[in-house]
Amino acid sequence: MSENLGKSVAQLAVLLQQRALDPVDLAEETLDAMANHPDKAIFTTMTADRARTEARLSSERIRGGRSHGLLDGVPIAWKDLFDLKGLSTTAGSVVLKSEQPASTDADVVTALKSAGMVCIGRTNMSEFAFSGLGINPNYGTPRNPRSTDVPRLPGGSSSGSAVAVAAGLVPVAMGTDTGGSVRIPAAFNGLVGYKASRSRYSMSGVYPLATSLDSLGPLVRTVSDAIWVDAAMRRMTAPSIPATSIADLKLVVPETVFLDGAEPGVVAAFEAAISRLEKSGVRVRRQAFPEISEIFELMTQHGALVTAEAYVLHHERLAGPDASRMDRRVVQRARLGEKISLVDYVKIRQARERLTRSFASKLSSGELIASPTLPHVAPPIEPLLENDDLFFATNGKTLRNTLIGNFLDWCGVSLPSGQGDAGMPVGFLLSGLKGHDEAVLSAAFAIEHIVGGL
């Protein structure tokens, strides 16, 4: 692999802006690495012609002193939910292959193209983004590159995006997050995964799953990379995230649900990170939040909000011949939405507003939420392929911690935080209320090295 691959966005940006590395050469190195990588399930499409054109234009700008900014010439891969002009958006499913090609890029694709980023390809995902595991029977399941024993889950639904970054093929890949689909694969693969507040960016041109929950964000190597990409997606020429002093940070650790049944290695890594933070001057307290338990009671009584909205989106497809061409587990889970009545749906939405307000009222000013991203490390793939009961049980537990933030409308950053069982990465999740993205990103930047034990 080229010495340039595996570098962070910031590292590549320095080389590109100083003209020590040409965008055309970087694009060719990236395309070559993608084509020759042994795991053919990471990408669904390589956009080689587009990448070469965009890299050439970037090269001309930089050499001519007209750079579009720090991200000019940096490669990016897009989850197969984002419209790319001239390509059908298949959402990880074969049933959308014949759909009309997109006439324009998604809004966030256009924003990062305007910043000079080079679109290198489309990444694989759980079909229709409806699983936190990353298994895809249509296009294959990307293998977690951090595993040293058996093939392990990449995490979903942004599976290919996480693996593309973790394998060193691209410095950034975009994901979406409806129940954890950025933060889960980030934690499984030892990456930084930023789930932005819902509505922070335009969702135009992004294939939905559940519009009242859908959000998006990048998978990257460092928090500073996430901050740069976030600024560009909002059409800013430079980040505006304020610096945070460690001594000013206040964290609350929920004593409800997040640590229930967690693997000992996950608990040990999380508690060690909390201890280091406290020793560094971060103020940490612990509190039980019955609102969190009520989320799961609500799901048991009325069904899941994501399932109701996914069923509305796909109900015609589920009733027709396309269902036989879909992942049977996606079909089975989506059909549960048929049992959710309009009364159930309205009660879920009403309870969501009440619980969101109630939780927020218990936080002090400037306080952020700290928890393990997931209760376990990435499990082996093979046992899940044929055992549907195990699949659904594992999927439910994998989504458990992260869906809390989606339901309560939080933003969040998952940070690498040591290792658990089988030497696999553990994630530390820093969350904030909706709209507190600057505070969360700033705090994540300040504590990244402490949480990682560096």
Q: Is 85 tagged catalytic?
A: no
Find out whether 132 and 395 touch, Cβ atoms under 8 Å.
yes
Burial of 272 (0-12, 13-18, 19+ CB in 10 A): middle
Find out whether 179 and 403 touch, Cβ atoms under 8 Å.
yes
- What the block records as the tokens of 340 is 């959710």
Task: Starting at the earlier edge strand, list the strands of the sheet with 118-123.
Answer: 43-46, 118-123, 75-79, 173-177, 215-220, 192-195, 411-419, 425-432, 367-372, 250-254, 283-287
Among 208, 206, 209, 170, smallest CA distance to 191 is for 170
Distance CA 64, CA 383 (A): 55
**Residue 307: in which H helix or E strand, if any?**
helix 305-318
Q: Is 197 tagged catalytic?
A: no
- What the block records as the tokens of 223 is 């928090």
- What the block records as the tokens of 393 is 């049980």
Among 227, 229, 176, smallest CA distance to 203 is for 176
Distance CA 436, CA 62 (A): 34
One DSSP character per residue, 94-122 reads: GGGTTSPPPSS--HHHHHHHHTT-EEEEE
Q: Is 324 tagged catalytic?
A: no
From 131, 161, 181, 442, active-site residue:
181
From 79, 113, 195, 434, active-site residue:
79
**Residue 328: in which H helix or E strand, if any?**
helix 328-335
From 58, 157, 197, 417, active-site residue:
157
Indicate which residues carry an active-site annotation.
79, 157, 181
